[in-house]
């Protein structure tokens, strides 16, 4: 059979392994989340990289090709107007309305203006090769137009119109048309590239999106696996704690019962010796010391028995009058409070019966009030005060025991309800079973408990128990 120390080491090792198992599954979750974030970031970044040429080519179309096409088209329209005006002038012998030399010159200026607006937009090598050609042909067209318009008093000569003006006009329009077709070809190429790039970007984005979804699915599976693992670990831990608590209760009850009879026999023997004989003063002092140790040992046994009994299943239909039980507890502890000079305040208690036995309720109240009386003497505030308050809810009664003692550190507020746990800063005697007993009783009767504390200002211990007749929650 393993020794207690060996058993303690084994349990500590099991707790350490359980904690390590609980932390270990975090790494796959972190890695999965990082992969998901990276995959989505990669998808967005690469999609933006693929779509950037689309923006550049769209800007090339809207910023260069379309304005160039517009100016060249306007230029060719003005060339057509110029040809019509000059032909009308030649056909009427210089007497056609609205076709005088000034109007023809204005049309020619508009042709020149549209070409000058186009020239800064000519950026490709093919365009720059055509620009000097158009300049030369526009110069020839101006000379030919001047010769036709200034043909003499008899009007423009038809041979000059056919031999000089018409070839110059046709060549200039052909050069402008070549530039226009060049830009149309470039715009069509840009549009084709945009369509291809968009299709490629869509395909790659779909592939990356599918990969991201696959990674997200894997990460979700990892998370679910981790959650299941942690739930299993938590279940194992709860089961282990329950087994340990059951072992502790059984051990406490067994030890208390095994020690009670021999200690009682020793106490009786001591009493018989002191009554039959008149011991010397030196022996009397030793007997008194032995009696004090026996009394302390008996207190330990009573605490162990009360803790063990607290884990028993409560009887159904139990009822306890809160006012009667509280009055009995206060009557028993009041002499002690007067000895340590503590002011006790009890707020009016509503007439309520709780769904627990009077003994269980008495144990809870006596432990909480006795605990407050024990520690209030360590506080720096005077006078020392303890207050008991009761409030009635719809289905429960809420009881608070407040003191102005030293308070409890925040990190110890839950630990003090565990068996054999005591604050290292206290000077008071005890075994660390009082609050653990309160917790077991309150939870056994489907209640709640807790503590609110401020260091150096005191503590408020509270519990709630269902009223008598309230249906118990399903187990």
Does residue 353 have a pLDDT over 90?
Answer: yes
Question: Tokens standing for 177?
Answer: 């048309």
Distance separating alpha carbons of residues 148 and 82, to the nearest angstrom = 12
Q: Pick the range with the lowest mean pLDDT from 27-31, 245-249, 414-418, 438-442.
A: 245-249
User: Are 43 and 187 members of one domain?
Assistant: yes
Question: Which residue did the predictor score with more confidence, 394 or 125?
Answer: 394
Question: Which residue did the predictor score with more confidence, 137 or 260?
Answer: 137
Give residue 153's pLDDT.
40
- At a CB cut-off of 8 Å and minimum separation 6, what does 398 contact? 390, 391, 392, 462, 463, 464
Residue 279's pLDDT band (boundaries 50, 70, 90)? Answer: low
Does residue 398 have a pLDDT over 90?
Answer: yes
Average pLDDT in the 397-425 region? 78
Does residue 252 have a pLDDT over 70?
Answer: no
Q: How many residues does the chain have?
A: 475
User: Are 190 and 319 members of one domain?
Assistant: no
Domain residues for 458?
314-466
Please count the structural domains in the chain: 2
Q: Pick the range with the lowest mean pLDDT from 34-43, 273-282, 447-456.
A: 273-282
Q: What percent of the chain has pLDDT over 90?
A: 12
Average pLDDT in the 174-200 region? 78
Average pLDDT taken over every residue of the chain? 75
**Residue 233 counted as domain residue:** no
The enclosing domain of 149 has a CATH number of 1.20.120.1730
**Residue 7 counted as domain residue:** no
**Residue 299 counted as domain residue:** no
**Residue 2 counted as domain residue:** no
Q: Which of 219, 237, 209, 202 is nearest to 50 (CA)?
A: 202
135 CA to centre of own chain:
70
| Element of type H or E holding 474 | none
Average pLDDT in the 223-250 region? 70
Task: Specify burial of residue 364 (Cβ count, 10 A radius: 0-12, 13-18, 19+).
Answer: buried
Give residue 253's pLDDT.
58
Does residue 447 have a pLDDT over 50?
Answer: yes
Average pLDDT in the 383-396 region? 92
Question: Which residue did the predictor score with more confidence, 201 or 417?
Answer: 417
**Residue 260 counted as domain residue:** no
Contact 140, 72 (CB under 8 A): no
Give residue 345's pLDDT.
92
Distance separating alpha carbons of residues 306 and 362, to the nearest angstrom = 12
First-last CA distance in the chain? 36
Distance separating alpha carbons of residues 436 and 448, to the nearest angstrom = 13
**Residue 197 counted as domain residue:** yes
Residue 177's pLDDT band (boundaries 50, 70, 90)? Answer: confident
Q: Which residues pair with 346 in a beta bridge?
A: 388
Does residue 10 have a pLDDT over 70?
Answer: no
Count the neighbouring beta carbons within 10 Å of the beta carbon of residue 9: 12
Task: Specify burial of residue 97 (Cβ count, 10 A radius: 0-12, 13-18, 19+).
Answer: exposed
Contact 357, 318 (CB under 8 A): yes
Give residue 466's pLDDT.
93
CA-based max dimension of the chain? 172
Average pLDDT in the 68-79 region? 86
Question: Which residue did the predictor score with more confidence, 322 or 246?
Answer: 322
Contact 164, 144 (CB under 8 A): yes
Domain boundary, last residue among 217, 249, 269: 217
Domain boundary, last residue among 195, 217, 239: 217
Q: Is the CA virtual torsion 355, 360, 364, 370 positive or negative?
A: positive
Look at residue 64 and give its three-state secondary structure: helix
Look at residue 92 and give its three-state secondary structure: coil
Distance separating alpha carbons of residues 64 and 46, to the nearest angstrom = 27
Q: Is the CA virtual torsion 240, 241, 242, 247 positive or negative?
A: positive
Domain boundary, last residue among 200, 217, 234: 217
């Amino acid at each position: 059979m393993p020794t207690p120390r060996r058993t303690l080491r084994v349990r500590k090792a099991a707790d350490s392994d359980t904690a390590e198992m609980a932390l270990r599954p975090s790494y796959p979750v972190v890695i999965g989340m990082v992969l998901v974030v990276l995959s989505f970031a990669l998808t967005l970044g690469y999609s933006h990289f693929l779509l950037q040429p689309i923006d550049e080519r769209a800007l090339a179309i809207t910023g260069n090709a379309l304005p160039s096409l517009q100016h060249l088209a306007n230029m060719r329209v003005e060339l057509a107007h110029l040809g019509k005006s000059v032909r009308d002038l030649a056909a009427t012998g210089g007497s056609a309305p609205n076709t005088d030399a000034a109007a023809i010159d204005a049309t020619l200026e508009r042709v020149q203006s549209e070409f000058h607006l186009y020239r800064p937009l000519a950026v490709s090598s093919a365009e720059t090769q055509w620009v000097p050609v158009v300049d030369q042909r526009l110069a020839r067209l101006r000379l030919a137009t001047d010769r036709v318009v200034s043909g003499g008093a008899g009007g423009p000569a038809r041979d000059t119109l056919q031999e000089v003006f018409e070839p110059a006009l046709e060549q200039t329009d052909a050069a402008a048309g070549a530039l226009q077709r060049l830009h149309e070809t470039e715009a069509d190429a840009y549009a084709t590239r945009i369509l291809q790039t968009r299709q490629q970007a869509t395909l790659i984005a779909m592939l990356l999106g599918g990969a991201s979804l696959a990674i997200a699915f894997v990460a979700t599976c990892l998370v679910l696996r981790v959650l299941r693992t942690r739930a299993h670990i938590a279940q194992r831990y709860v089961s282990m704690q329950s087994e340990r608590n059951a072992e502790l209760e059984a051990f406490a009850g067994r030890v208390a019962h095994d020690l009670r009879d021999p200690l009682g026999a020793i106490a009786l023997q001591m009493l018989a010796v002191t009554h039959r004989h008149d011991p010397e003063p030196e022996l009397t002092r030793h007997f008194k010391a032995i009696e004090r140790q026996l009394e302390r040992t008996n207190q330990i046994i009573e605490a162990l028995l009360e803790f063990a009994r607290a884990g028993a299943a409560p009887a159904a239909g139990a009822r306890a009058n809160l006012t009667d039980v509280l009055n009995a507890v206060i009557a028993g502890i009041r002499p002690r409070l007067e000895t340590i000079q503590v002011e006790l305040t009890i707020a009016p208690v509503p007439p309520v019966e709780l769904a627990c036995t009077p003994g269980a309720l008495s144990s809870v109240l006596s432990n909480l009030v006795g605990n407050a009386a024990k520690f209030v003497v360590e506080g720096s505030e005077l006078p020392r005060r303890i207050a008991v308050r009761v409030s009635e809810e719809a289905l429960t009664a809420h009881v608070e025991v407040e003191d102005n003692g030293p308070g409890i550190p925040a990190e110890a507020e839950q630990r003090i309800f565990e068996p054999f746990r005591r604050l290292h800063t206290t000077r008071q005697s005890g075994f660390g079973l009082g609050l653990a007993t309160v917790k077991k009783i309150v939870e056994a009767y489907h209640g709640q408990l807790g503590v609110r504390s401020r260091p150096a200002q005191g503590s408020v211990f509270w519990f709630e128990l269902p009223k008598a007749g309230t249906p118990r929650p399903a187990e």
